[in-house]
Amino acid sequence: MSEQKVVVKGGLVLKPDGLFALDVAIEGEVITEVSEGLDTFGSRVIDATGCVVSTSFYDTHTHSRYPGDSEAETIETLSEQGLLGGYQYLLAMANTEPTIDSVSIWKAVREELRKAPIEVDQAASITIGRKGERLVDFVSLSEAGVTFFTDDGTGVGSTKLMYEALKMSELLGVTVAQHAQDPYLFEGASMNLGATSVRLGLIGEPEASESTMVARDIELLKATGGRLHVLHVSARESINLIRMARNEGLRISAEVTPHHLLLDDSLLSNFDTSFKVNPPLRSKSTQMAIVASAIRGDFDAIATDHAPHAYHSKQRPFSQASFGMIGLQSAFSACWTAFSEPPASPTAIATDHWSHRAASRIGLEPYELQRLHRLLEMMGPGAARVVGRRIGIEPNAQASIVICDPTARSVGKIEDIASHSTNFPYEGRTLRGSVVGGFIRGKEILREGKLWF
Amino acid sequence: MTGLTSNPVPGRRSLTQISDLSDSEIVDLLGRAEIYRKQELGTRRFSDELKDSVVATLFFEGSTRTRLSFTLAAERLGARVIDLAVSASSVSKGESLKDTCDTVSALGADAVVVRHPNEGAPLQIASWTSLAVVNAGDGCHEHPTQALGDLFSLSSAFEGVGNLAAKKIAIVGDILHSRVARSLSALLGRFGSKVVLVGPPDMMVDRPSALGAEFSFDLDEVVGEVDVLYLLRIQRERIQGGYHSSIDSYTRRFQLDQKRYLRMAPKSIVMHPGPVNRGVELAVKLPEERSLISEQVRNGVLMRMAVFSKILATASDDRRSQRGVFGD
C-alpha cells in the first residue's frame, strides 16, 4: 500500500450519471477526494489524460477450474489474467471436479481461493453434483456464507427443482443463477442453429432453447419470489422477457458475455474449436441485437464466462471438443470493440456542449462516451450489484480503480494472455481499448498495462 | 491453385470441402478426369505419374466402396497406398485426433484420405498438420470427391458443364444427414443448376436456402419437371422413430417406383451414390440410358485420380525443388 497520497489526474471519471473530468485522490486504502483540479502538492501524480477512470471490474462468471483441472488454469494464472483485465473480484462457478455442492467442499475451496492476489468468491451448485435431481442443502450453505447458487454449465431442467430453488432464494435471501438452456432442445448440439450449422452438417441449438427456460423461470419467480440472475444471455427473446419481468418489478438481473457481443456463428465455418462455446455464438443479426440491447441498458453486468480448457480437449473433432473460451484478460477490449461497431443511432440522446468537450478530451464522439459509460457501469458497479456489493468512485469508498485507454488498439495474441489454456477467440483480431493502470484498495496493481506489485 | 486450402507447408494442398475449390480449379479437375478417361487409365492401364508418392487412407468409419475407389485411383497413377487401420474405438476413447494425424505425418505420407464420423475432422487435420488431406466423407458435412465425380458424370451426360446451367436437379432422401447433398448442392450451384432438396420434414435441413437450394416435401410435385433425379441412400435406422414411423410410409411418398418413373421427363436421368437399397429408394429397373449409377462409380475413380494428380504433383514438384535447394 502506498503511504504517499496519490492523485489520478486528467481522466474522465465514472459516476452514476456519466463520465466527468475529475481528479481522484487516494490515501491509504480509500478514496479521499473526487473533484476538479485537485492540489497535487506532495502527492504522486498518475497522469490519466486521454483515459477513463472506472471502479475496478467485477466478474460474475468465471471458471477457475479449481479444484480439478490445473492443466487448464491455476489460481495464479487466473489471478494474473483478472488483474491484467482490470478486475478486483471474480465469482467462480461451481462446475468443478468435484462439484461445489456441500459446505465442506465450499469451505475448503474458498480457503484455497483466499490465497489468490485477487478476490475470488465461490458459488455453490443448485443441485447435488449438478445432476438436476436433488437440491443442495441451501440452508447450511447459506449459513456458511454462500450467496450465489448456480448449476452453470447445465440448466436446471426440472421445473419443480427450479421452483424449490427460487423458494429457497426467497427464504434465505440468496441469488439463484440460471444457465438457461432446455436440455431437450440442446441435445447433441454443438453450435447455434442457423445457416452455418446447416452448411456444416452440425446439430444446432435454436435460440428458443434459452428463451423458453427464461420464460419458465420468470413464471416461477412470480410464483415464489426470490432473486433470479440469468447467466450469459444469448437469445433475442430472452432479452425481451427479462426487460418485461424487470418492468413488472421482479427481482431479476442478467449478464452478457464479451464474446456474445463481439462474435457470431459464421466464425465456425472452418470448424475452429476455439469458437465453440455454450451458449453458442449466435447469428450476426442476433449478435447485433445483443449489442444494441447492451448499449440501451438491458443488461446489468458484463460477465466473462472465462472458460479455460487444456489444449487437447479442444484438439478434438468439433462435436466432441469442449465448450468454452477464455476471455478474462481481454474483456474490456472485446466489449469496447463490440460497442464501437454500431453506427450512432439517430435517436441517440442529444448531447450538450459539455459532453462534446468531455468526449473530445479522450478522442471520442459524444455518443461513444455514452456507450463507454454504459459499458463501465456494467463491468463495475452493475456487476457488483449482482453479487450484492455497492461500489463507486466517491470519497470514503475503497480505492479500487482501473484506468482504461479507450482509443488504444492492439492485436489479440495468445502469447500476451497469462492463461495455461489457448482457447482464445480474439487471436489476430484488432481490439479497441486497453486497461492501462489500476489500484486495488489503494495498492497499485497495474502500470502501463503490466502487473505492478 | 490458390483456392485449395493452403497448408503450412507450401505446395501441400487439401480438398476438405467444395468451397476449397475455385471455379477454374473445378474445370481443371474435370479436364484431368477427361484426359484419364481418354487414356483408359481409369480402366485398363496404369501410369507412373505419381510413382514416388505415398497416399495413406485413414478411415475412422467403415466404408468399402469409397476406400476401394481412392485406393484404385492412387494405384492407377503409380502411387503407393498404405492403409492405417484406425479402429473406431480409438476415437471413442477420446484419443486426440491431432496425435493420430501427427503419427501419419511422421510416417511420411504425402497425402491422407480421411473418412471420419465427425463433421470437420478432415479440415481440422489439414489445419493442424502439414498433411495434404482429401476428405472422403465427414459426418453430415461433405463428401467432395463424390460430388466432383457426379459432376463429371453430369457434365458427360449433358455434353459439357456449360449445359448444366439450365438444368433442374432434385436430390431426394435424408437431406439432413447427407454429406453428398451438401457437397452436391454447393457444387451444382456454382454452375447455375437449380437444385431442389426433396424429403420428409424430419429429414430436411432447417434452412435449405443456406445450401443455395429450394426444397419440397413432395416428390410427386417435382418428379415430372426435373432433368436429374438424384436418389440418396436411406439409412433404415434413421427412419424409425422419425417423421415416418416405417420404411413403408417413407417409400409410399419418396420411392422412385414405376409410376413415378413414368412421370419423369423423357430424357431425364437417375443418379445414386450407391450402394442402392433396392426396394427402398429405388424400385424400378432403369434402362441403361436413363441411369448414371454405374457411370458414377467409374467416374468416381477418374475424378479421384484427378484430385490426387493435382494435389500430389504439386507435392512432388515441391520435393524436387527442395532437392534443388539443398543438393543431394
* pLDDT value for A399: 98
B91-133 tens-digit pLDDT:
556 567 788 888 888 888 999 999 999 999 999 999 988 889 9
Interchain contact, B211 vs A271, CB within 8 Å: no
Q: Distance (Å) from the C-alpha of residue B315 to the closest C-alpha of chain A?
A: 23
pLDDT at A436 over 70: yes
Structure-block grid coordinates of residue A63: 471458471
Mean pLDDT, residues B148-166: 96
Q: Give chain A positions within 8 Å (CB) of B127.
A: 270
Asked if the structure places residue A147 within a domain, the reply is: yes
Interchain contact, B124 vs A317, CB within 8 Å: yes
- Asked if A252 is an interface residue toward chain B (Cβ–Cβ < 8 A), one would say no
Q: Give chain B positions within 8 Å (CB) of A422.
A: none
Type of residue numbered A95: N
Mean pLDDT, residues A37-49: 95
Asked if the structure places residue A21 within a domain, the reply is: no
pLDDT at B4 over 70: no
Higher pLDDT, A361 or B225: B225
In A, minimum Cα distance to B98 occurs at A315
Strands A23-27 and A30-35: antiparallel
Q: Give chain A positions within 8 Å (CB) of B208.
A: 198
CATH 3.40.50.1370 residue window(s) in chain B: 5-143+297-326, 145-291
Interface of B with A (CB under 8 A): 91, 94, 96-98, 116, 118-121, 123-124, 127-128, 138-142, 177, 179, 182, 205-211
Asked if the structure places residue A439 within a domain, the reply is: no
What does DSSP assign to residue B97? H
- Asked if A187 is an interface residue toward chain B (Cβ–Cβ < 8 A), one would say no
Q: Give chain A positions within 8 Å (CB) of B206.
A: 193-194, 197-198, 204
Interchain contact, A194 vs B98, CB within 8 Å: no
Sequence-distant (≥ 6) Cβ neighbours of residue A229 within 8 angstroms: A60, A148, A150, A175, A176, A177, A178, A252, A253, A254, A255, A386
Domain B5-143+297-326 has CATH 3.20.20.70: no
**Contact of A54 with A397, CB cutoff 8 Å:** no
Interchain contact, B97 vs A316, CB within 8 Å: yes
Most confident range, picked from B149-153, B243-247, B323-327? B149-153
Q: Give chain B positions within 8 Å (CB) of A197.
A: 206
Structure-block grid coordinates of residue A299: 443488461
- Bridge partners (DSSP) of residue A15 are A18
Q: What is the pLDDT of chain A when averaged over all its residues? A: 96
Can you tell me the distance from the alpha carbon of A186 to that of B119, in angstroms, rounded to the nearest whole number?
18
A16-36 tens-digit pLDDT:
999 999 999 999 999 999 999
Q: Give chain A positions within 8 Å (CB) of B142.
A: 201
Q: What are phi and psi of A287, to 5 degrees?
A: -55, -45
Q: Select from A193, A194, A318 the Cβ nearest to the Cβ of B120.
A: A318
* pLDDT value for A452: 86
Q: Distance (Å) from the C-alpha of residue A169 to the closest C-alpha of chain B?
A: 39
Interchain contact, B124 vs A312, CB within 8 Å: no
Q: Distance (Å) from the C-alpha of residue A308 to the closest C-alpha of chain B?
A: 18
Q: Select from A198, A315, A319 the Cβ nearest to the Cβ of B210.
A: A198
Higher pLDDT, A100 or B324: A100
pLDDT at B13 over 90: no
Interchain contact, B141 vs A202, CB within 8 Å: yes
Q: Could you count the other beta carbons within 10 Å of the beta carbon of residue B203?
A: 25
* pLDDT value for B11: 45
* pLDDT value for B286: 95
| % chain A with pLDDT above 90 | 93
Give me the interface pTM, i.e. the ipTM.
0.89
- SS3 of residue A222 by DSSP: helix
B292-316 tens-digit pLDDT:
999 999 999 999 999 999 998 754 4
Mean pLDDT, residues B27-40: 94
Helix-strand-coil split of chain A, %, nearest 5 = 35, 25, 40
What are the residue numbers of the active site of A? 305
Type of residue numbered B323: R
Asked if the structure places residue A324 within a domain, the reply is: yes
Mean pLDDT, residues B177-192: 96
- Cα dihedral across residues A364, A366, A368, A373: positive or negative: positive
| CATH code at position A266 | 3.20.20.140
Mean pLDDT, residues A101-113: 97
- Asked if A316 is an interface residue toward chain B (Cβ–Cβ < 8 A), one would say yes
* pLDDT value for B102: 86
Angle between helices B179-190 and B144-157 (to 10 degrees): 50
Asked if the structure places residue A349 within a domain, the reply is: no
CATH topology (fold) of B145-291 = Rossmann fold (3.40.50)
Q: Select from A271, A315, A318 the Cβ nearest to the Cβ of B96.
A: A315
- Bridge partners (DSSP) of residue B216 are B198
Can you tell me the distance from the alpha carbon of A430 to that of A426, in angstroms, rounded to the nearest whole number?
8
* pLDDT value for B186: 96
Mean pLDDT, residues B247-276: 94
Q: What are phi and psi of B102, to 5 degrees?
A: -60, -35
* pLDDT value for B249: 85
pLDDT at A346 over 70: no
Q: Give chain B positions within 8 Å (CB) of A194.
A: 206-207, 210
**Contact of A125 with A92, CB cutoff 8 Å:** no
Q: Distance (Å) from the C-alpha of residue B46 to the closest C-alpha of chain A?
A: 37
Task: Provide the residue range defining the domain that includes A186.
Answer: 56-340
Please count the structural domains in chain A.
1
Q: Select from A193, A198, A319 the Cβ nearest to the Cβ of B118.
A: A319
pLDDT at B319 over 50: no
**Contact of B205 with B197, CB cutoff 8 Å:** yes
Strands A175-178 and A227-230: parallel
Can you tell me the distance from the alpha carbon of A89 to that of A368, in angstroms, rounded to the nearest whole number?
27
A272-315 tens-digit pLDDT:
999 999 999 999 999 999 999 999 999 999 999 999 999 989 98
Q: Give chain B positions within 8 Å (CB) of A317.
A: 91, 97, 116, 118-121, 124
pLDDT band at residue B215 under the 50/70/90 scheme:
very high
Interchain contact, A316 vs B94, CB within 8 Å: yes
pLDDT band at residue A398 under the 50/70/90 scheme:
very high
Q: What is the pLDDT of chain B when averaged over all its residues? A: 87
Q: Give chain A positions within 8 Å (CB) of B123.
A: 270-271
- Asked if A188 is an interface residue toward chain B (Cβ–Cβ < 8 A), one would say no
Structure-block grid coordinates of residue A198: 446447416
pLDDT at A5 over 50: yes
Most confident range, picked from A425-429, B2-6, B84-88? A425-429
Q: Distance (Å) from the C-alpha of residue B151 to the closest C-alpha of chain A?
A: 19
Q: Select from B123, B206, B209 the Cβ nearest to the Cβ of A193.
A: B206
Q: Distance (Å) from the C-alpha of residue B119 to the closest C-alpha of chain A?
A: 7
Mean pLDDT, residues A407-436: 96
Alpha helices by DSSP H, B141-246: 144-157, 179-190, 219-222, 236-239
Q: Select from A194, A201, A273 the Cβ nearest to the Cβ of B140.
A: A201
Interchain contact, B120 vs A199, CB within 8 Å: no
Interchain contact, B118 vs A318, CB within 8 Å: yes
